[in-house]
């Protein structure tokens, strides 16, 4: 009887180990794909509210598609006070005139399939010293909306522009 219990216990342990190993690993959160450099630290979180602007253009493969022209958004501090604006480039400009331009380093789909992607951008100062001038990276997360329309772009609509509302949180990082 002891041997039988020992074998049953062994079989149960083996089955439990197999069941645990065969479980899919949970997907990494989108933000984990957007890691900043180890020497960078979070400087500020800047909520944004505005639009993503698209133009109906001829595509290289024939046909027509909505092409991103750029964002137009107001930037706020965490208390809700407007502190600047975000526009094509992409640029972020503080009310004090300091500004940065970004270059996409990494992108991942937003958890909300109807929202623009989450991004990691390198940043370079392109204005006077001030609020944004020491920012080295920008992470765009928590996006809502902003996706190009699924239809309505054709030869007859070429040149038409659409403004799609969006919100996002921009995390600004500086080097230590």
- Model pLDDT for residues 131-153, shown as the tens digit of each residue: 999 999 999 999 999 999 999 99
List residues bridging with 96 in a β-sheet: none
CA distance 119 to 93: 18
Please answer whether residues 96 and 134 qualify as being in contact, where contact means their C-beta atoms are separated by less than 8 angstroms.
Answer: no
Place of tokens 């899919």: 24
- pTM for this entry: 0.81
- DSSP, collapsed to helix, strand or coil, labels residue 148 as coil
The DSSP output letter for 35 is P
pLDDT tens for 35-88 read: 999 999 999 999 999 999 999 999 998 899 999 999 999 999 999 999 999 999
Nearest C-alpha neighbor of 86 from the set 100, 68, 105, 103: 100
The pair of structure tokens assigned to 21 is 């190993």
Instruction: With cut-offs at 50, 70 and 90, classify the pLDDT of residue 32.
Output: confident
For the chain, the structural domain boundaries read 39-175
């Amino acid at each position: 009887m002891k041997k039988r219990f020992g074998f049953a216990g062994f079989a149960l342990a083996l089955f439990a180990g197999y069941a645990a190993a065969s479980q899919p690993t949970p997907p990494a959160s989108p933000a984990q794909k957007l890691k900043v450099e180890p020497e960078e630290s979070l400087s500020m979180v800047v909520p944004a509210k505005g639009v993503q602007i698209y133009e109906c253009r001829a595509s290289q493969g024939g046909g027509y598609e909505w092409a991103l022209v750029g964002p137009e958004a107001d930037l706020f501090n965490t208390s809700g006070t407007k502190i600047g604006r975000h526009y094509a480039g992409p640029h972020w400009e503080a009310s004090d005139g300091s500004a940065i331009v970004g270059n996409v380093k990494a992108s991942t789909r937003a958890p909300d399939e109807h929202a623009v992607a989450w991004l990691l951008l390198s940043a370079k100062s392109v204005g006077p010293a001030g609020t944004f001038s020491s920012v080295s990276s920008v992470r765009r997360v928590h996006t809502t909306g902003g996706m190009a329309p699924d239809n309505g772009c054709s030869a007859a609509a070429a040149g038409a522009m659409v403004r799609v509302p969006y919100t996002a949180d921009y995390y600004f990082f500086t080097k230590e």
